[in-house]
Amino acid sequence: MTSSKNKPLALVTGVGPGTGASVARRFAEGGYRVAMLARNAERLATLEREIPDSIAITCDVTDATALERAIATVGAPKVVVHNAVGGAFGTFQQVDADVLKRNFETNTMALFHLARLTAPAMVAAGEGAIIVTGNTSAQRGKASFAGFAPTKAAQRILAESLARDLGPKGVHVAYLIIDAAIDVPWQRQLQPTKPDDFFISPKSIAAEVYHLAHQPKDSWSFLAEVRPFHEPW
């Protein structure tokens, strides 16, 4: 049996009750230690008790100093999954400018800082992966998504810049577009009449994140998409 200290480390941001927790569980099942970053200390503590070899770190990813401190605590990750997300819905006249700025900090600037803090060790090791969870707002700007879509589009372009820079150095960067309503309680409450197969399960998203992080070097993807079979696109 591999001892905990010899296991590779995966660092996951935005570990809430849905996608983030499922990603943490999938990497733990795959033989990783998992550093789980989020703002909700109570929820993280519960997950830490449930997931073997997990480390709960209360951290606001918009705070670059806190990110640096978190990574110094756990060590160099082999895989980073940036799943933290800031969102707001409304037109450009309805969304507060400070909310848009905050979403840029969460979605884009946090990825920037994560890459700067973790990529050098991956490059030195000649391997590693940075996987970013996104959505269709990264590709189109609907009127009511003015507080969200610009930040996800910037995130996708930053991820592509990272991929073009780090790929030749042995580090895989991929952007996963989730074109679906994720099966979490608040989505069920918003859409109570929808059938089960309308939603995508966090477990299915986690499986694709894990797959992207482990693609062989002769067949890397950058832009990947997941959606339910009936979702129009």
What is the CATH superfamily name and number for domain 4-226? Answer: NAD(P)-binding Rossmann-like Domain (3.40.50.720)
pLDDT band at 212 (very low <50, low <70, confident <90, very high): very high
Evaluate whether 26 touches 19 at the Cβ level (below 8 Å): no
48 residue type, one letter:
E
* CA distance linking residue 73 with residue 193, whole number of Å: 45
pLDDT digits (tens, 9 = 90+) for 28-56: 999 999 999 999 999 999 999 999 999 99
CB 149 within 8 A of CB 132: no
Band of pLDDT at residue 61, cut at 50, 70 and 90 = very high
Residue in the block written with tokens 């820079």 = 165
Rounded distance between C-alpha atoms, residue 189 and residue 209, angstroms: 26
The DSSP code for 90 is: B
Angle at which helix 110-125 crosses helix 149-166, to 10 degrees, equals: 20
Model confidence pLDDT, tens digit, residues 137-184: 788 878 778 888 889 999 999 999 999 999 999 999 999 999 888 888
Q: How many CA within 13 A on the CB side of residue 126?
A: 0
Q: What is the pLDDT of residue 32?
A: 98
Spans of all domains in the chain: 4-226
